Amino acid sequence: MGFVSCMAPCYGCHRPFSFNPNLVPSIRINDVRQPICQDCVEQANPLRERNGLPKIEILPGAYDACDEAELG
């Protein structure tokens, strides 16, 4: 048994961060999921609320490693 942690630049701030590929918040750009770091989600949510949009939810474990068996 092993664990998996993905690493990529955040679409918002371009800083690299690690995440669980199944749980990380993301946005679709040209039909491709782009990961968003926790700092960018926390910055975006107040603006989203002011504009009447739902907050981006950060699921538990979104920025942790996952069990390799969880990957499809």
Is 68 within 8 Å of 3 (Cβ atoms)? yes
User: Quick check: 61 pLDDT over 80?
Assistant: yes
Report d(CA 38, CA 65) in Å as an integer: 15
State the pLDDT confidence band at 58, using cuts at 50, 70 and 90. very high
Q: What is the mean pLDDT of the chain?
A: 94
Please give the model's pTM, rounded to 2 decimal places: 0.86
Which residue, among 15, 2, 12, has the nearest Cα to 43 in the 3D structure? 12
Summarised one tens digit per residue, pLDDT across range 22-36 is 999 999 999 999 999
